[in-house]
Chain A
Amino acid sequence: MTTLAPLAPPAHRRANHTSVSRRLTSVAKHLLLIVVAVTMIYPLLWLIWSSFRANGEIFKNTWLLPLPDFGNLTNFATGFTSFQQMTGYTYPFAHFFLNTLIITVGCVIGNLATCSLAAYAFARQKFRGRSVMFAVMLLTVMLPGHVVLIPQYIIWNKLGLINTFVPLILPKFLAVDAFYTFLMVQFIRGIPSELDESARIDGANHWRIFSRIMLPLMVPAMATTAIFTFIGVWNDFFSQLIYLTDPKKWTVAIGVKGFIDSETGSNYGATFAMSLLSIVPLFLIFLFGQKYLVKGIAMTGFK
């Protein structure tokens, strides 16, 4: 006992010391993360706040306090009036939303349908030229869109399809987004092949195996594809800028761009209000689709 007694306190003190220093590092870490998080999120809050502030106030007070009157929709009204003049529609922004939604949903359906078909063929079927075609598919992941841009534009122009949604949607029904095809190929490869072999012995053909066995199992990969296609197309600007020049066909992104170009564009309150409206669906995806987003990113970020 007496020999042990002198030993005990230092050990105890040491443990205490490390737990204090651990706590300190933890506090410092949280502080740092909070500072980073606030810095990151501040511009977004400012966007929301400014949408409700009087135009003259926005740059006078760039802080969040005092809170704006969130019932003050003047900026939104100014924006809508300006758009009414540009488009001739009574509810211009509703049209922009609808146009964007048609394009986005069309693209999601196209990607889901054709990328999954192609992925099944690459992952599960044997036919001549498969490996060559697979390599070509992989190469197109890295192909910059600009190389095919001009001929594609000329073709759509000759077909009289500028200012329609066809150039924006149709390609997705031809499995052009190789990245998602590749993602699904990887996913299917992870599904045990005993499943389809036993179905084949029972007399199922490929279509049956694909539609009854694979598709239900591919839900996570399909959800990832759907959500990222949605975000990508909603945020797309370049192709919409090229193909949709008629204000009646504008999407929200082109609408916001058209707004800055217009006379009202110097009205920052209205510009912010219109910008904010244009990304509301992305906020909704963020709020309700988090689980799929995080899983999906992890899935797409690996090889």
Chain B
Amino acid sequence: MSALAELQTQASARTRIPRAERRRLNAKKRWDNSGYLFLLPWMIGIAGLTVIPMASSLYFSLTKYPLLKGPTWIGVDNYIRLFADARVWTSFRVTFTYVIIGVPLQLAVALAIAVLLDRGMKGLSFYRSVLYLPSLLGGSVAIAVLWKAVFGADGVFNAFLALFGIHGMGWVSNPKTALGSIILLHCWTFGSAMVIFLAGLRNIPTMYYEAAEIDGAGPWKRFTSITMPLLTPIIFFNLVMQIIAAFQSFTQAYIVSGGNGGPADSTLFYALYLYKNAFSYFQMGYAAAMAWVLFLVIAAVTGINFWLSKYWVFYDA
């Protein structure tokens, strides 16, 4: 066979076989590309509501932007001003206190109660429901309003203290205790974490405990050597997500302080100060810079959390 003939057969083969093949491939491609159609809403959302706004907010953070006038480029001035702004530091202190005390405390209470609610315990579903209810309502304005009254000078909390002969004070109007009452509100909503832990506890095989008991392990030993290690992935997941959420908390502080973060800026959460800059003082550029700093702080803390998890989170094989 000559080289030419060989080429011809090859060429015809290239056109002949692919015809059927191509139809199959086209159908496959159409089959696969329909994924883009399913994702279309998400792609519009990610572009229009996340990526482009993120880029613009980065740009706005480098401008002076009074809402009605439009942006003028000022470089990194907003960031310089931000680090010199005493109220920014105050709001960081308030927010970090809330995150560092509130989140672990709430998770610890949730875990303790979940462990107490043994499996098969009488009245389990009753307790679970009652203890869960606050976390369903806790984010609402109504509960923040209630909280302000409960911890007010003549509120329920002081009436309770009076039973023990303790003379209380106006907890939300005292700069030393106002933040504490908001942290307590956060702890009050431990129910949903408790339900997660309960489900996690149920996944631990009973035979682990039986074996430990035979080996003479007491309740505390069983808790620290079986329950805790096996729950660490769930604890970690909830810790990470809750910390991210806690950095952004706003409603409770806004309502309890009447929108100003008082008394004496003691409940000036970062998100609240950001809101005020944007929507009370209409400094859009400065608020955008604050948002970016918050974003970086949350990213850093989350990163540290993941790094630390190597040392305490136990992943079962």
Within 8 A of B (CB), among A225-263: 231-232, 234-235, 237-238, 241-242, 253-254, 256-257, 260
Q: Is the CB of A286 within 8 A of B38?
A: no
Within 8 A of A (CB), among B234-264: 234, 237-238, 244, 247-248, 250-251, 254-255, 258
Q: Is the CB of A175 within 8 A of B45?
A: yes
Within 8 A of A (CB), among B122-173: 122-123, 127-134, 136-137, 139-143, 145-147, 149-150, 152, 154-156, 159
Chain A residues contacting B130 (CB-CB under 8 Å) are 37, 40-41
Binds A, one of B7-15, B209-217, B288-296: B288-296
Q: Is the CB of B251 within 8 A of A144?
A: no
Binds B, one of A11-19, A65-73, A129-137: A129-137
State the Cβ distance, B143 to closest chain A Cβ, in Å: 7
B295's partner among A30, A46, A143, A235 (CB-CB below 8 A) is: A143
Q: Is the CB of A297 within 8 A of B251?
A: no
Given contacts A118-B41, A125-B35, A151-B53, contact A302 B237 (CB under 8 A): yes
Q: Is the CB of B159 within 8 A of A142?
A: no
**A44 interfacial contact with B, CB 8 Å:** yes
State the Cβ distance, A89 to closest chain B Cβ, in Å: 20
Within 8 A of B (CB), among A152-175: 152-155, 157, 171, 173-175
Chain A residues contacting B275 (CB-CB under 8 Å) are 238, 242
**Dominant SS at the B interface?**
helix
Q: Is the CB of B244 within 8 A of A144?
A: yes
**A42 interfacial contact with B, CB 8 Å:** yes
Given contacts A140-B50, A144-B244, A144-B294, contact A271 B147 (CB under 8 A): no
Complex Cα gap A51–B109 (Å)? 30
Q: Chain B 187-211 against A: per-residue CB contact (8 Å), 1 yes, 0 no?
A: 0100011011011100000000000
Q: Is the CB of B237 within 8 A of A237?
A: no
Complex Cα gap A42–B50 (Å)? 42
Chain A contact residue count (CB 8 A cutoff): 88
Binds A, one of B54-62, B84-92, B97-105: B54-62
**B271 interfacial contact with A, CB 8 Å:** yes
**B281 interfacial contact with A, CB 8 Å:** no
Chain B residues contacting A133 (CB-CB under 8 Å) are 39, 43, 46
Given contacts A37-B127, A174-B45, A210-B38, contact A147 B140 (CB under 8 A): no
Complex Cα gap A256–B153 (Å)? 22
Complex Cα gap A59–B134 (Å)? 22
Q: Is the CB of B35 within 8 A of A130?
A: yes
Q: Is the CB of B254 within 8 A of A148?
A: no
State the Cβ distance, B59 to closest chain A Cβ, in Å: 9
Chain A residues contacting B117 (CB-CB under 8 Å) are 33
Chain A residues contacting B143 (CB-CB under 8 Å) are 275, 279
Q: Is the CB of B128 within 8 A of A275?
A: no
B35's partner among A121, A145, A235 (CB-CB below 8 A) is: A121
A174's partner among B49, B145, B146 (CB-CB below 8 A) is: B49
**B314 interfacial contact with A, CB 8 Å:** no
Chain A residues contacting B278 (CB-CB under 8 Å) are 149-150, 153
Given contacts A33-B116, A253-B141, contact A176 B50 (CB under 8 A): yes
Q: Is the CB of B34 within 8 A of A206?
A: yes
**A36 interfacial contact with B, CB 8 Å:** yes
Q: Is the CB of A44 within 8 A of B134?
A: yes
Q: Chain A 35-50 against B: per-residue CB contact (8 Å), 1 yes, 0 no?
A: 0110011111011001
Chain B contact residue count (CB 8 A cutoff): 91
Q: Is the CB of B54 within 8 A of A147?
A: yes
Complex Cα gap A63–B149 (Å)? 14
Chain B residues contacting A136 (CB-CB under 8 Å) are 46
Complex Cα gap A276–B38 (Å)? 41
The residue in chain A whose Cβ has the minimal distance to the Cβ of B38 is: A121
A residues sitting closer than 8 Å to B (CB atoms) are 29-30, 32-33, 36-37, 40-44, 46-47, 50, 59, 62-63, 113-114, 117-118, 120-122, 125-127, 130, 133, 136-137, 140, 142-155, 157, 171, 173-176, 181, 205-207, 210, 231-232, 234-235, 237-238, 241-242, 253-254, 256-257, 260, 268, 271-272, 275-276, 278-279, 282, 285-286, 290, 293-294, 297-298, 301-303
B residues sitting closer than 8 Å to A (CB atoms) are 31-36, 38-39, 41-46, 48-50, 52-54, 56-57, 60, 67, 113, 116-117, 121-123, 127-134, 136-137, 139-143, 145-147, 149-150, 152, 154-156, 159, 188, 192-193, 195-196, 198-200, 233-234, 237-238, 244, 247-248, 250-251, 254-255, 258, 271, 274-275, 278-279, 284, 287-288, 290-292, 294-295, 298-299, 302
Sampled A-B contacts (26; CB under 8 Å): A37-B131, A43-B150, A43-B188, A47-B146, A62-B155, A127-B36, A133-B39, A143-B50, A144-B248, A146-B294, A148-B53, A149-B278, A150-B284, A151-B52, A153-B278, A175-B42, A181-B42, A237-B250, A237-B255, A238-B251, A238-B271, A254-B141, A286-B132, A301-B200, A301-B237, A302-B200
Q: Can you name 15 extra interface pairs (CB under 8 A) apart from A144-B298, A146-B291?
A: A29-B116, A37-B127, A40-B134, A43-B150, A44-B134, A62-B156, A121-B35, A126-B35, A147-B295, A150-B284, A205-B34, A275-B142, A275-B145, A278-B140, A301-B237
